[in-house]
């Protein structure tokens, strides 16, 4: 027996998922489905033409050229489309006044235009619609196809004639036929009572109807009586002839016995629906060749029926009941214990009847018992092509759900389309933050790593990638890529060699970064998924670093941190150490002052908000309104935003517009003249005021208003013809905030609130200074300072200043100081960010600075340097291993430690659930000679694969 879940070890042996897509030139789609066909017990290729299974081929046989092939590899399993043998949730059950309505067809209440994505995904391709449960004979059940053309939906209009003998049907309404008009000659008569009110009545009525049917048949023959001309007996004769089943909802053994007695000696095909106690009369049922549609399986948190002494009429079948019935030779179709529950049909069925028997109970037998056995439920040549394809064996994997569902030859559900989860199955998964997982799986969904481990459930329909080794995407802790250079940032052309010189503190490399610049993609292909884009050194203050992704995606999608660090370079600084130090100190002190002003503001604001909760809430909304400066496109036809015309005064040519911002932030009513020529209302919000631009006769007119005012006069800008208009027209109604609207009746209250909303006592926000923002982040220890050092004495003084006085995350970038200062730096808790893996020659001895740093427990973040090439980062780490660094540490130098130093470890740098899906797939063990980068994934997408 296989393990219930798909584990990495097994999956590794499996071939990679292959999906060939091609369509025949003439557009006539032939479909070929490959996989292990569970109902045949062997692999096969199913060729589908014109909605039907044309033929079954041996698995290796050639498929017709041009056919679209669905092949989930050796993990592909194929089942017939499932048959849900009872449902009442897709068509509202009719409940006619009369207790007997054989002319009603359930399908007439079914709307095939309603999209039912969950049903399509469930694998159910044939659906039995129940005509209802609270009349003795509620009508005929119907079988429909799922997901096909609306005209093609009906599989069987009158699949079975329903009879309900459970107490649900014992309360038919009285038929009330008042006289029209009532009067002395024509008094009200009491309403007509209907059968049945009791179990005995139900059976008496059923016998009566069947007897009437027999009499009609004897009189007219079956042809005539089959027509719905006689509403009471329509279809009854067909049931007597055995042309369609008599489907009786019955739970108790006694009822079922009575039914068996009624049909014995007739042609009637009996199907029991419900059948809680059917197992008690299993042998009689088998003898009568009756089928049972059993609610079975264990409903989660549901109650099991008690076997003794007596079961309820609405009871649920015990899972064992299905086994007892099939053992006795009764045909059993299973429906979920929970009504509806199509998506869990297979699971319920397999729980009640494991293996092939369970599958049979929701495919072939279910189709037989609902009267469509010749059309659905089996995989054979000539039959309707209803299939569901799984990417694992559904009989052993409870989590299996259909990956592809085909109904009548059309693919109605396809998990292999669009962005889907990816499972990377690797011999070694270097999580870096934890252990190396042998035969591990990394599951990626929606750009993030969702699961890592050995025993991981692979999502249904996931793309499986098999590889040798997986490491996190590499991080370049400092390099220059994607920069057109400051001078040539415009249209002066591409000059890859031009460096990013030191810049002011108000500049952000992220603003200069061009994700499509030609040197970004090669870097990504080399395995570097994250890079701290840094200005060149050479000045004491060189500027800000931005941490970027190399995914090539535009806009903010590539930015991890716009202010990702600060670069100070004292390695070439001239001047007395004292001057340098005091300069730096001054710089940082001013930054600290700025930070403190913000700290104070935030503290005061929190205090104020606590004291004025109402006003605080209002202010937050205010801020939101202010943000709508670039309105979202609301209606593609009218452009930006529009009011709804709620009234039109034809005489004064005046239309009243009710305006409301889409997200319900402000609303009001505005009156605009000649509105019919004005098709676009361009609204912008700024602080408390909004501005509406109306285009009338090709001319723009504007008016502005203040949201807070109660009555607002409209002032028109531009255009002389409209002068004076503003004094005449007013905004009628009150543009109010949502909260105020509630209190519209209470003016005093409103006034008070208005007072509050002006935000009295609200602390004043300090001014934002772009050049000071990096210091704020730095001093809050959000970002590191990279510092270039040379002279030993100066270096010590600067590091002390940075660490002791300002407690900054300090990273030394100069290899030269490592041999002498490594102990000091370790003591100070600094990091080390060397360009590559520098090896120094000191007095004829080779000193590997990274090894030295690691030995002193200084975290190392490798960078490519401002003149370097990030593509060699993996090689640099590999060289560190050659120089004696443990391979685990070398890997951390280009992943985890860099992420920690750059304070982006919550996004990148390790293989952990929740982090960005940045992975490098290697051809062999990491850093082993000959190992190459095979594939690189950034944010869940493989580099080089087209963005879908």
Partner 1 sequence: MIRVLALILVTSIAGAQDLLVKNARVITCAGSDLKIGCVLIKGGKIAEVGEKVEAAGVPVIDGRGKVVMPGFVLPHTSAGLDGRNQNEMVPVTPYVSVLDAIDPSLPFFEDCLRDGNLSICVMPGNRTMIAGMGRVVRPWGATVESMTVAAEPGLKISVAPTSGNRAAWIAKLRAELEKGRRALEKQELEGKVGDNERTGNIALDLEAMGAKKRQLALFRLLKGDLRAHVVCQTAGDVLQAQKLAAEFKLKTLLVCGPNTWRAAKHLAKEKIPVVLSSTMVIRETDTETGEEIERIIPKIFHDAGVKFAITTSTGNLGGRYAWYQAACLVRYGMSREDALAAVTRIPAELIGIGARKGSIEPGKDGDVLILTDDPLSGRAWVEQAVIGGEVVYERSRAPRLAEVFGGGK
List residues near partner 1 by CB under 8 A: 91-92, 94-96, 101, 103-115, 117-118, 131, 139, 150-151, 227-229, 231, 637-638, 645-648, 651, 653, 655, 674-677, 679
- The DSSP-derived string for 353-378 is S-THHHHHHTTHHHHHHTT-TTTSS-
Q: Which is nearer to partner 1, 139 or 788 (CB)?
A: 139
Q: Which is nearer to partner 1, 157 or 828 (CB)?
A: 157
Smallest separation (angstroms) from partner 1 to the CB of 459: 19
- Does residue 244 contact residue 238 with C-beta atoms inside 8 Å? yes
Smallest separation (angstroms) from partner 1 to the CB of 785: 46
Backbone φ and ψ for 365, nearest 5 degrees, come out as -65, -40
Q: Is residue 106 classed exposed, middle or buried when 0-12, 13-18 and 19+ CB atoms within 10 A define those classes?
A: buried
The DSSP letter of residue 513 is B
- Does residue 891 contact residue 883 with C-beta atoms inside 8 Å? no
Q: Alpha helix (H) ranges present in 362-421?
A: 364-369
Q: Which is nearer to partner 1, 39 or 638 (CB)?
A: 638
Q: Which is nearer to partner 1, 227 or 842 (CB)?
A: 227
Q: Which is nearer to partner 1, 138 or 297 (CB)?
A: 138
CA distance 891 to 885: 10
The DSSP letter of residue 801 is I
Smallest separation (angstroms) from partner 1 to the CB of 230: 10
Tally of CB atoms within 10 A around 942? 15
Measured CA to CA in angstroms, residue 720 lies from 282, 700, 715, 717 at distances of 93, 12, 12, 9
CA distance 474 to 870: 10
Q: Which is nearer to partner 1, 101 or 551 (CB)?
A: 101
Smallest separation (angstroms) from partner 1 to the CB of 138: 9
CA distance 499 to 640: 42
Smallest separation (angstroms) from partner 1 to the CB of 453: 31
Measured CA to CA in angstroms, residue 193 lies from 174, 207, 680 at distances of 5, 19, 64
Tally of CB atoms within 10 A around 562? 19
290 SS3 class: coil
- Does residue 379 contact residue 43 with C-beta atoms inside 8 Å? no
Q: Which is nearer to partner 1, 600 or 653 (CB)?
A: 653
- Does residue 517 contact residue 482 with C-beta atoms inside 8 Å? yes
Cβ within 8 Å of residue 304, ≥6 positions away: 298, 316, 318
Q: Which is nearer to partner 1, 151 or 728 (CB)?
A: 151
Q: Positive or negative CA dihedral for 484, 485, 487, 489?
A: positive
- Does residue 120 contact residue 371 with C-beta atoms inside 8 Å? no
Smallest separation (angstroms) from partner 1 to the CB of 676: 2
Smallest separation (angstroms) from partner 1 to the CB of 117: 7
Smallest separation (angstroms) from partner 1 to the CB of 3: 34
CA distance 337 to 300: 9
Smallest separation (angstroms) from partner 1 to the CB of 936: 34
- Does residue 405 contact residue 81 with C-beta atoms inside 8 Å? yes
CA distance 948 to 945: 9
Smallest separation (angstroms) from partner 1 to the CB of 758: 33
Q: Which is nearer to partner 1, 109 or 453 (CB)?
A: 109
Q: Is residue 813 classed exposed, middle or buried when 0-12, 13-18 and 19+ CB atoms within 10 A define those classes?
A: buried
- Does residue 109 contact residue 157 with C-beta atoms inside 8 Å? no
- Does residue 788 contact residue 799 with C-beta atoms inside 8 Å? no
Smallest separation (angstroms) from partner 1 to the CB of 811: 46
Smallest separation (angstroms) from partner 1 to the CB of 238: 16
Smallest separation (angstroms) from partner 1 to the CB of 646: 8
Query: Using alpha carbons only, what angle is made at residue 315 by residues 309 and 321, rounded to the nearest 5 degrees?
Result: 75
- Does residue 126 contact residue 144 with C-beta atoms inside 8 Å? yes
Q: Which is nearer to partner 1, 97 or 751 (CB)?
A: 97
Smallest separation (angstroms) from partner 1 to the CB of 152: 11
Measured CA to CA in angstroms, residue 237 lies from 43, 101, 156, 160, 242 at distances of 45, 14, 17, 12, 9
- Does residue 166 contact residue 106 with C-beta atoms inside 8 Å? no
Smallest separation (angstroms) from partner 1 to the CB of 154: 9
Q: Which is nearer to partner 1, 627 or 653 (CB)?
A: 653
Q: Which is nearer to partner 1, 174 or 264 (CB)?
A: 174
Q: Which is nearer to partner 1, 649 or 906 (CB)?
A: 649
Smallest separation (angstroms) from partner 1 to the CB of 634: 9
Smallest separation (angstroms) from partner 1 to the CB of 605: 34
Q: Which is nearer to partner 1, 104 or 890 (CB)?
A: 104
Cβ within 8 Å of residue 198, ≥6 positions away: 170
Q: Which is nearer to partner 1, 111 or 435 (CB)?
A: 111
- The DSSP-derived string for 145-175 is ESSS-GGG-EEEEEEEEEEE-SGGGS-PPPB
Tally of CB atoms within 10 A around 555? 7
Q: Which is nearer to partner 1, 91 or 562 (CB)?
A: 91
CA distance 852 to 913: 33
CA distance 31 to 50: 9
Q: Which is nearer to partner 1, 121 or 376 (CB)?
A: 121
Tally of CB atoms within 10 A around 453? 17
Smallest separation (angstroms) from partner 1 to the CB of 49: 22
Q: Which is nearer to partner 1, 414 or 869 (CB)?
A: 414
| Residue 181: cis peptide before it, omega within 30 degrees of 0 | yes
């Amino acid at each position: 027996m296989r393990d219930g879940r798909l584990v990495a070890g097994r999956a590794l042996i499996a071939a990679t998922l292959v999906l060939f897509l091609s369509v025949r030139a003439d557009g006539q789609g032939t479909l070929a489905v490959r996989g292990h066909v569970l109902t045949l017990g062997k692999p096969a290729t199913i060729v589908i033409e014109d909605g039907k299974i044309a033929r079954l081929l041996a698995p290796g046989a050639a498929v017709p050229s041009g056919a679209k092939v669905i092949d989930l590899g050796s993990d592909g399993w194929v089942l017939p489309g499932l048959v849900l043998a009872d449902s009442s949730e897709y068509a509202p059950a009719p409940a006619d006044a009369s207790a007997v309505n054989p002319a009603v067809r359930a399908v007439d209440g079914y709307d095939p235009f309603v999209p039912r994505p969950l049903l399509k995904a469930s694998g159910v391709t044939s659906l039995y619609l129940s005509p209802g449960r609270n009349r003795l004979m509620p009508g005929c059940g119907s079988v429909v196809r799922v997901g096909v053309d609306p005209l093609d939906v009906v599989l069987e209009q009158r699949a079975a004639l329903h009879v309900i003998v459970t107490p649900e049907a014992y309360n038919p309404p009285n038929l009330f036929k008042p006289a029209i008009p009532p009067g002395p000659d024509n008094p009200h008569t009491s309403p007509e009572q209907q059968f049945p009110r009791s179990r005995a009545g139900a059976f008496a009525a059923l016998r009566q109807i069947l007897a009437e049917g027999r009499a009609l048949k004897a009189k007219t023959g079956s042809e005539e009586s089959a027509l719905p001309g006689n509403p009471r007996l329509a279809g009854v004769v067909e049931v007597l002839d055995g042309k369609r089943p008599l489907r009786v909802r019955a739970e108790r053994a006694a009822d079922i016995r009575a039914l068996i007695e009624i049909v014995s000696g007739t042609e009637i095909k009996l199907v029991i629906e419900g059948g809680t106690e059917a197992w008690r009369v299993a042998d009689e049922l088998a003898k009568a060749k009756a089928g049972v549609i059993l609610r079975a399986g264990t409903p989660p948190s549901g109650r099991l029926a008690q076997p003794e002494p007596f079961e309820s009429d609405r009871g649920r079948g015990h899972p064992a009941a299905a086994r007892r019935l099939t053992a006795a030779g009764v045909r059993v179709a299973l429906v979920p214990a929970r009504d509806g529950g199509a998506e869990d049909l297979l699971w319920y069925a397999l729980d009640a009847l494991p293996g092939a028997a369970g599958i049979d109970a929701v495919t072939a037998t279910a189709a037989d018992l609902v009267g469509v056995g010749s059309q659905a439920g089996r995989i054979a040549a000539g039959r309707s092509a209803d299939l569901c394809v799984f990417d694992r064996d559904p009989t052993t994997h409870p989590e299996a759900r259909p990956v592809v569902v085909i109904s009548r030859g059309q693919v109605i559900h396809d998990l292999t389309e669009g962005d889907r989860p990816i499972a990377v199955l690797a011999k070694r998964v270097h999580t870096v933050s934890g252990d190396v997982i042998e035969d591990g799986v990394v599951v990626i969904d929606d750009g993030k790593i969702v699961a890592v481990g050995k025993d991981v459930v692979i999502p249904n329909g996931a793309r499986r990638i098999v590889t040798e080794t997986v490491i996190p995407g590499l991080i370049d802790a400092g390099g220059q890529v994607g920069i057109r250079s400051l001078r040539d940032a415009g249209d002066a052309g591409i000059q890859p060699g031009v460096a990013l010189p030191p810049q002011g503190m108000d500049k952000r490399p992220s603003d200069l970064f061009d994700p499509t610049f030609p040197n970004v993609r090669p870097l990504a292909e080399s395995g570097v998924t994250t890079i701290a884009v840094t200005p060149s050194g050479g000045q004491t203050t060189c500027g800000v670093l931005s941490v970027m992704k190399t995914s090539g995606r535009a806009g903010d999608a590539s930015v991890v941190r716009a202010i990702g660090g600060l670069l100070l370079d004292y390695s070439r600084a001239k001047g007395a150490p004292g001057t340098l130090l005091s300069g730096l100190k001054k710089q940082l002190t001013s930054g600290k002052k700025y930070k403190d002003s913000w700290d104070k503001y935030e503290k005061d604001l929190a205090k104020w908000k606590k004291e004025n909760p109402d006003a605080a809430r209002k202010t937050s909304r205010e801020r939101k309104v202010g943000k709508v400066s670039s309105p979202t496109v609301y209606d593609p036809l009218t452009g930006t935003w529009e009011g709804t015309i709620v009234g039109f005064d034809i005489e004064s040519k005046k239309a009243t517009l009710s305006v409301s911002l889409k997200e319900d932030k402000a609303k009001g009513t505005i009156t605009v003249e000649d509105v019919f020529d004005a098709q676009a209302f361009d609204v912008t919000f700024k602080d408390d005021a909004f501005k509406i631009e109306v285009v009338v006769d090709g001319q723009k007119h504007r008016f502005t208003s203040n949201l807070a005012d109660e009555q607002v006069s409209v002032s028109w800008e531009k255009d002389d013809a409209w002068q004076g208009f503003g004094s005449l027209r007013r905004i009628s109604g009150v543009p109010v905030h949502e909260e105020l609207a509630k209190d519209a009746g209470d003016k005093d209250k409103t006034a008070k609130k208005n007072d509050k909303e002006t935000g009295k006592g609200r602390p004043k926000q300090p001014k934002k200074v772009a050049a000071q923002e990096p210091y704020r982040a730095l001093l809050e220890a959000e970002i590191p300072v990279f510092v270039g050092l040379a002279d030993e004495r100066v270096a010590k003084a600067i590091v002390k200043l940075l660490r002791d006085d300002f407690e900054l995350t300090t990273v030394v970038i100069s290899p030269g100081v490592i041999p002498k200062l490594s102990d000091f730096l370790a003591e100070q808790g600094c990091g080390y960010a060397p360009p590559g893996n520098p090896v120094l020659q000191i007095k004829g001895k080779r000193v590997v600075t990274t090894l030295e740093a690691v030995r002193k427990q200084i975290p190392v973040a490798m960078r490519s340097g401002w003149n370097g090439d990030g593509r060699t980062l993996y090689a640099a780490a590999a060289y560190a291993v050659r120089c004696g660094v443990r391979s685990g540490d070398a890997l951390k130098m280009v992943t985890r430690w860099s992420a920690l130093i750059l304070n982006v470890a919550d996004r990148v740098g390790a293989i952990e659930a929740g982090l960005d899906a940045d992975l490098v797939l290697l051809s062999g063990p990491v850093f082993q000679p000959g190992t190459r980068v095979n594939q690189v994934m950034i944010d869940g997408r493989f580099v080089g694969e087209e963005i879908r």
